[in-house]
Amino acid sequence: MQIVGQSHYLHIYREKSEETERIIATFLAVSSSASIAGWAVWHSLSWLWGTVIAASQVLSACRSHLPYARRAEVLREATSGFKLLAMRIECNWFRIAEGELSEENINDLITAFLKEQFDIEDKLFSKITLAHRSDIVLSAEQSTSQYFTTFYGQQF
């Protein structure tokens, strides 16, 4: 369940990062093309258009240092890794529940899954830092709960 929850958390975090990057890109695109025209049309609000142009120039200069695009790229890869890991764990959980695996096989699987989880996290956090987001934790918990209710008929 923890891996499914982490997968949902990273997926939601990625979506929020992509949304922020999209907002920045849209603001820069609109402000760069509309600001000059707006300034020419509305002389009475020239201070507003000057502010928009200045803000867009500052944002454009800082954009490469903002984490959103890079974070979304790394989270896309990490989310995929966690989803695949969760699927493998689930498949083996069914084998365990059916009694197909020995205790030694189960321990070997747990060790392999923990190593894979560590590798994904190590790769992820060597490239970016994620601030804890309570809103995303709550959304991920709800999404995880919905997942288990849908596929297993119960919440965990």
Query: Quick one: pLDDT band at residue 38, thresholds 50, 70, 90?
Result: low
Q: Given a cut of 80, is residue 50 above it in pLDDT? A: no
The pLDDT of residue 105 is: 95
Higher pLDDT among residues 69 and 41, named by residue: 69
CA dihedral 60, 13, 73, 32 (to 10 degrees): -20
**Which of these, 128, 18, 22, lies nearest to 72 by C-alpha position?**
18
**Which residues fall within 8 angstroms of residue 120, CB to CB, at 6 or more apart?**
78, 81, 82, 85
**Which of these, 118, 43, 27, 55, lies nearest to 81 by C-alpha position?**
118
**Which of these, 136, 138, 130, 121, lies nearest to 3 by C-alpha position?**
121
The pLDDT of residue 34 is: 65
Taking a C-beta distance cutoff of 8 angstroms, is the pair 69, 86 a contact?
Answer: no
Name residue, tokens 């499914």. 4
Structural domain harbouring 135: 2-152
How does pLDDT run across 88-131, given as a tens digit for each residue? Answer: 999 998 899 899 999 999 999 999 999 999 999 998 889 888 89
How many domains would you assign to the chain?
Answer: 1
